[in-house]
Structure 1
Amino acid sequence: MVALLVLGVVLLLGALLLLSLALRTDEESAGVNRSLAVLETMGQAPKELRAELDLPFADRVIAPLRARALTVGRRISGSDAGERLRRRLDAAGNPPGWTVDRMVSGKVLFGVLGLILGVAIAALFQIGPLTGVVVALAGLLVGFFGPDLYLYQRTYDRNERLQRDLPDAIDLLTISVEAGLGFDAAVQQVAVKTHGPLADEFTRMLREMQLGQGRSEALRGLAERCTVDDVRAFVSAMVQADGFGIPIAQVLRIQAGEMRIKRRQRAETRAQQVPVKITVPLIFFILPCLFVVVMGPALLHSMDSFSRR
């Protein structure tokens, strides 16, 4: 009886031991599975991080900065700033990569960069607080208005080129129309045979006409994009000739004569400005050199004579 009781206790203990081992094995396998899942997740996470790090520097850093700068620029700009910038970009010939959004964000970024550069210069040269503030503000203003100055210079150079190329283009138009070509075909000949901003504007005008825009509207668009008075006068004459049915060849001949007269007058005006413009370098740079060359030997000889006495 006692032996049976002992045997039962042993079997019960053995069953409990086997049950505990089985539970421990299940827990260990579950723990291993969880560890494997964690390791797998940790192995996948760096791939996503590497995917972000594999992006170009412009997409990771510059693009977010540009987006924030664009938001700030739109807040500090007026409601019609976008339209004004678009007209200025058209007047500058729409430089490659220059858009209204990039212009606004670039002004803010360059302003911040100029401010940081001004503060760095003030700290490097140990400038006083008031002067340092002035230098920092100057850097801010230069950086903020730098793109505007560059765009103004591009517009000025382009207008000079337009004014210089317009008489030759009108002569070529006149010859083409008198040879029997229509106005559109003559404009296409000018756009193909010449190079420069005027040829680009003629090409754009032809594309607008091919898209269904009327000739008068395309010519007015050309006048709006160009701020040169001669171009606008030419466009106005062409629009009036198209509206009243005046022969194009006659109008072009008159315009060619007027443009040649204006070009000669501009050349004479610049020639008359030369004596006035050369006065300053003549007084401050040329005359002192002449005085040194002419009076120098006499002065040295006089000093030598007085020293011997």
Structure 2
Amino acid sequence: MSVHGGGGAGAALEVVRAGALTTVQDGGRPGYAHLGVPRSGALDAGAYALANRLLGNPAGAAALETTLDGVALRATAPVTVAVTGAACPVRVAGRPAAWGAPVRVPAGALLDVGRAAGGVRAYVAVRGGVAVPEVLGSRSTDLLSGLGPALLSAGTLLPVGPAVPDPVPAVEPCPLPGPPSELVLPLRLGPRADWFTGASLAGMWRAVFRVSALSNRIGLRTEAGSALVRARPGELPSEGMVLGAVQVPPDGLPVVFLADHPVTGGYPVVGVVPPGPALDAAAQARPGVAVRFVRAR
């Protein structure tokens, strides 16, 4: 059954509870690395895209990305929302509501997106999109450069864009995702794999690392596992970095660059994790989760 409605004239979402870290994200701002501007954008690209599809939004419509403990929002006018990503309880005006499906929020009602039962980041999309001003063609908050809207705080008013007049498309309910018990990352070696010993590289395929609590939107840091050993001394001059680059600092423990990564770096990059489901899973991996690298096919 289709659900009508979206952002009407003057519709907005007022932040009542901001959560640990809630940001506005869209598809990011690619094409500005030469100016020192990271791409940014939603960390779990698949979950973000699904939230917009559920509402019939354009693919690049801005949504909210929460971290661990969700967010609470009050609608100033009737809106339709969808929550995806990390499985979490959803309530509207105190009553349980669907996760992974379009949900109607009446004017004045409180939408409460609760603590993640598994995973890290949930995506809260609204029909019409979150219509904060664009910066360099994107509404994304970039934690590294500071571009885009500020981190959400109580009292922030988020305007909602006008929805297309078509009804929200009928969709099948989304299955609840299971929390990743092990993060398996396909790795294409290079460009600086020759900076590490052959034995160290061979050991990397057998090693089991763990997600560090120091991980964030800039990069997934690892701990434990077998540290990679340099085959040569010295440092590299800074060179360009891409999404998924696996940089190895002096402690030998790999760091996987995520959406807010710097555009240059001086530590050797042992390889690159291609964009796709594996990097999406990295956005949902909690501290302590096992990490293994496998050869990319």
TM-score range, shorter chain: under 0.3
TM value normalised by structure 1: 0.22
TM value normalised by structure 2: 0.23
Higher helix proportion: 1
- Point out the structure with max Rg over C-alpha: 1
Higher strand proportion: 2
